[in-house]
Amino acid sequence: MLDHGAAPPSTEPPATGGPRPGSGLMRRKPVETLVAEGGQGEGGSLKRSLGMWQLTMISIGATLGTGIFIVLGENIPKAGPAITLSFVIAGLTALFSALSYAELAGTIPVAGSSYSYAYATLGEFVAWICGWCLIIEYGVSVSAVAVGWGQYLNELLDGTIGVTLPDALSAPPGSGGYFNLPALIVVLLAMVFLLGGARESARVNTIMVAVKIAALVLFCVIGFMGFKSGNYSDFMPLGRAGVSAAASSLFFSYIGFDAASTAGEEAKNPKRDLPRAIMLSLVIVTALYVLVAVVAVGARPWKQFEGSEAVLADIMKDVTGQSFWATLLAACAVIAIASVVLTVLYGQTRILFAMARDGLVPKVFAKVSPRTGTPVANTVIVSVFCGVLAAAVPLGELANATSIGTLFAFALVNVAVVVLRYTRPDMARTFRVPLGWVIPVMGFLSCGYLMWNLPGITWQYFGYWMAAGLVIYFGYGYRRSRLATASQK
């Protein structure tokens, strides 16, 4: 175990045994420099206030939400009862990458997550690509989750006061509406909590996570009362292709387990707590996902899921014949999905904070309030952008775009583990991926497999996004990065 009370490491590149900073597109930022800069921003510093339990709740809060409350109903028609197998495949893919995240989070405990890991191992250009993908993972998934929040809000309003918001104000263009006002509102509410500070936001998130776990357990108990084994008589009606297609889309449900790694500069004991939080959260989330999927298909024939939105609430209403339980679940879902918005938005702001500190995006994203220890301008800009995106874009396109960006970033993390093992074999690690390079290679290949099974239109959007990223990098980041300006002095 490392001596966490030791003096901070040197900010100079290692004299021997480590990678040289390099030049051009391959210039790298030494691990020691990344760690030494931890918490430092423009005009203030992030505050270390989060323990392991809070980090775990951040990770669960960012993961457990729309994937099971909304996306489940959209993907059961793709795989049939074998949706449970799709969850397992997506979960194994996440597990391989989670092991790699755990090793790097304990070794390089900084705010930039996989962006920073890539900067230390694969060079600035790859780090930029990774960071650009993380903007999809975090920023766009905030919008996708917010869209789902409005659907359950309508279910709650209908069950309590008998009214719902009109489609014109509760659905985006292309989905029967003009502007998704609830989606914008939930993002702005999350922004308010984040501006209060990381510790205060973590407390609110812990309460919301407890509510959503209780809601899913309640669903399983009531849903099991209507369980019919005959619904599983034809387990894989759409074949392996259907299972794979659903697994690729359902990977969206696992986005967020890495959110704890973005809190590396606000954790009290990051080297010890980050690996534990990442692994514990993934185990809890996967167990809940599979259990809920088994009960959902057992309580309703898979062909009847077509067009379902607030699917879990509908099943509870069907099983009990009463609207009370469905309304209660809808209330819990409103809280649950709001916690995803809060924690994922948190992760996005911290990644942009790290990129701004490195000079790859404008410095405004790295300005920290001395009073609250939060990047205020960063939080406001990201929140407004994500809120408007959520209000104007349908959920399905957002979910798939998020999945491909996340899978790409996860693949790079697996590569980074192997590279750092080779270039810095003697570096102290509080967690090591078992079986050497085997697990990271399996993680890389499984990410590639799920990316391959995503629709062609998703790849097209991804290509547009990456092209825009390259324009921004070569037009701004390449010349303004701190490594570039330091080499010119």
Q: What are the per-10-residue average pLDDT scores of the chain (489 residues)?
A: 37 40 65 67 65 84 73 78 86 84 81 81 85 80 73 77 74 68 86 80 83 86 86 83 81 74 77 84 87 87 69 80 78 82 83 85 83 84 84 64 78 87 80 84 86 80 85 84 68
255/248 Cα distance (integer angstroms): 12
Angle ∠(68,381,251) on CA atoms, nearest 5: 20
In a domain, 31, yes or no: no
In a domain, 33, yes or no: no
- What are the backbone angles phi and psi of residue 284, rounded to the nearest 5°? -65, -45
pLDDT at 9: 38
In a domain, 28, yes or no: no
Q: Which two tokens stand for residue 136?
A: 């999809």
In a domain, 283, yes or no: yes
In a domain, 174, yes or no: yes
Q: What is the CATH number of the domain that holds 321?
A: 1.20.1740.10
CA distance to 4, 61, 445, per residue, from 422 (Å): 25, 34, 20
In a domain, 212, yes or no: yes
463/352 Cα distance (integer angstroms): 21
CA distance between the termini of the chain: 39
Amino acid at site 89: I
In a domain, 17, yes or no: no
The single-letter DSSP state of residue 253 is: G
Structural domain for 230, as ranges: 42-487
3-state secondary structure of 265: coil
Q: Treating both helix axes as pointing N-terminal to C-terminal, what angle do 311-320 and 72-79 enclose, rounded to 10 degrees?
A: 80
45/55 Cα distance (integer angstroms): 19
384/362 Cα distance (integer angstroms): 17
Tokens 């967020």 -> residue: 256
374/351 Cα distance (integer angstroms): 13
In a domain, 244, yes or no: yes
**What's the domain count of the chain?**
1
Non-local CB neighbours of 384 within 8 Å, separated by 6+ positions:
none
Burial code of 99-112, b = ≥16 C-beta within 10 A, e = fewer?
A: bbbbbbbbbbbbbb
pLDDT at 488: 57
